[in-house]
A = this chain, B = another copy of it.
Amino acid sequence: MLLIRFCEESIAARYHTGKKMRCPTHLCTGQEAVPAAAGQALRSDDFVVSTHRAHGHYLGKGGDLNKMIAEIYGKKSGCSGGWGGSMHLVDRSVGFIGSTAIVAGTIPVGVGLGLSIKLKNTDQISCVFLGDAATEEGVFYESVNFAVLKKLPVLFICENNLYSVYSPLKVRQPEDRSITSMVQGLGCPAINGNGNDAIESYEKILKAVTSIRNGNGPVFLEFATYRWREHCGPDFDNHIGYRTEEEFEAWKMKDPIEAFEQKILLDNIIDKRMIEELKAGTQAKIDNAFKLADLAEFPDFCDQTWFSEVNG
């Protein structure tokens, strides 16, 4: 969680200066609990696919920090060699198969990974991250139907942050219908939870993971959460009027990291000094990643091996 938070905030702090991160960047500040919890509950050989807002999912799953920052800088050492940018992350060594920028685009891909697991008869699972708006796409529905039909080892994790860009849920989905109950109607076991509570999220995800690994078919989890910064870009945008300052402040009070910190301090799992050390260490790693990214080479359009293979 700390890594994710500090990383996002470091991007935000540096985005304007120097203008070296020249790609659309969707930060997940405020939403760190679920990605972190999922990363803990999943095995390294489990698959993950994700969305435009993927930094947390990537880091949570153990994706290489240096390669992610380099990718955002458009460098050759980036996880996608500079071809993808913030919205196209990959680290197959830890099962992070890919994040893409079309809403709901990776949902069937994740289900297809689930199908491949079934065909290969391993005990992996495939985890699909999605936003609340992604549930409005027909392909989401088609994907859930097939996962249920074939009892595939797929975990759907929907982070419901109330908005699609600046559009609140109520202009997109019937107000008296929850996403969870809708998915239950599709025949998929579905549960919701507090996405700002890291421990609750972890427990719910772990339970789902266990059930799926035991061959009981897909599970859908909906977590309520909130994005602090603007939809795309490094700034805050409460002033533009699509959400209220009060709503924002209320959610900020539910900061998942602070809550977790209080909890583990109270439970004496950790002490203040250890936390400070952890924070300093994490920030140092991140600062180093930025330094490496800045120094790294740019890729060259002409030295791609695959170019002109097709349409040659």
Residues of A that sit less than 8 Å from B by CB: 136-142, 145, 148-149, 172-174, 176-177, 181-187
Which applies to chain A's interface (DSSP): helix, strand, loop or mixed?
helix
The docked-state distance in angstroms from the alpha carbon of A183 to that of B145 is 13
The docked-state distance in angstroms from the alpha carbon of A141 to that of B136 is 8
Contact A148 B174 (CB under 8 A): yes
Q: Which residues of B contact A148 (CB under 8 A)?
A: 174, 177
Q: Can you name 20 A-B pairs with beta carbons within 8 Å?
A: A136-B145, A137-B138, A137-B142, A138-B138, A138-B139, A138-B141, A141-B141, A141-B142, A148-B174, A148-B177, A149-B172, A149-B173, A149-B174, A174-B187, A176-B187, A177-B187, A182-B185, A182-B186, A182-B187, A183-B185
The quantity of this chain's copies bound in the complex is 2
Q: Which residues of B contact A139 (CB under 8 A)?
A: 138
Nearest residue in B to A142 (C-beta to C-beta)? B138
Nearest residue in B to A137 (C-beta to C-beta)? B138
The docked-state distance in angstroms from the alpha carbon of A141 to that of B141 is 7
Contact A185 B181 (CB under 8 A): yes
Known: A136-B145, A182-B185. 6 other contacts (CB 8 A): A138-B141, A141-B141, A141-B142, A177-B186, A182-B187, A185-B185
Q: Which residues of B contact A183 (CB under 8 A)?
A: 185
The docked-state distance in angstroms from the alpha carbon of A185 to that of B137 is 16
Query: Beyond A182-B185, A185-B182, is A142–B136 a contact (Cβ under 8 Å)?
Result: yes
